[in-house]
Amino acid sequence: MKYFKTLLLLFTLSIFCLSVSAADILNGEEVKEVEWEQLMPADFTLDDVFDIDKLAEIDDFDPKAQQILDEMMAAMQSAPTVPEMDGQMVKLPGYVVPVEAEGLNVTEFFLVPYFGACIHTPPPPSNQIVYVRFEPGTKVENLYDAIWVTGKLSTESKAHELATSGYRMEAFQIAPYDL
């Protein structure tokens, strides 16, 4: 009986090890789980993009307010990316902002770090937006649901009427984000 328990334990551990290593490799490449902060250069801050105090000093109806807002949005659309991320196979959590869809099947979308970005609020800096293509598409029933996207990341930008992304990703896997 003791021999059987040892074999069962070894079998269970080997299955666990295989599943862990399989999750870390996709299309023969190591997958790196990435956080949104890693998509910004280490020395980048939003203060580099715009001076919020400058905007706060101006009345909403002042013609200069729109000019400052336009300058701020242009700066946000050209936020610097991290060159080392180019060509990496990554896994990144986020929320879907549909760009191309047929019904509930979304084939192209912006992946953003928080719900409502680009829809209910101004878009985040371009280095916090990833334009994703997923050829088979993914069913998106609720934009409130976060997802994991795994794929090949590139530092190419994508301009769209909703936003401008600093990154593109060819997705290979999409899964629900479970805590």
User: Would you say 84 and 71 are in contact if contact means Cβ atoms under 8 Å apart?
Assistant: no
Is the domain of 21 the same as that of 85?
no
- State yes or no: pLDDT of 17 exceeds 80: no
Distance CA 153, CA 86 (A): 6
Is the domain of 12 the same as that of 91?
no
Give residue 70's pLDDT band: very low, low, confident or very high (50, 70, 90).
confident
Is the domain of 116 the same as that of 139?
yes
**Both tokens of residue 171?**
């997705």
Is the domain of 14 the same as that of 97?
no
Q: Which residues contact 18 (CB under 8 A, 6 or more apart)?
A: none
For residue 61, being part of any structural domain is answered with no
Is the domain of 20 the same as that of 36?
no
What pLDDT does residue 48 have? 67
For residue 109, being part of any structural domain is answered with yes
What pLDDT does residue 22 have? 45
For residue 56, being part of any structural domain is answered with no
Is the domain of 13 the same as that of 90?
no
Is the domain of 7 the same as that of 36?
no
**Number of domains present in the structure of the chain:** 2
For the chain, first and last CA: distance in Å? 38
For residue 90, being part of any structural domain is answered with yes
Distance CA 121, CA 99 (A): 16
What pLDDT does residue 12 have? 41
What pLDDT does residue 155 have? 97
Q: What is the mean pLDDT of residues 41-45?
A: 89
Is the domain of 10 the same as that of 38?
no
Beta strand 25-26 with 29-30 is antiparallel
For residue 97, being part of any structural domain is answered with yes
For residue 108, being part of any structural domain is answered with yes
- DSSP state for residue 128 in the 8-state scheme: G
pLDDT tens digit sequence for 86-112: 999 999 999 999 999 999 999 999 999
Is the domain of 125 the same as that of 160?
yes
Give residue 49's pLDDT band: very low, low, confident or very high (50, 70, 90).
low
Structure-derived torsion over alpha carbons of residues 57, 40, 78, 98, reported in degrees to the nearest 10:
-100
Is the domain of 13 the same as that of 37?
no
Give residue 142's pLDDT band: very low, low, confident or very high (50, 70, 90).
confident
Instruction: Look at residues 139, 123, 121 and name the one whose alpha carbon lies nearest to residue 131.
Output: 123
Which residue range forms the structural domain that includes residue 12?
1-30
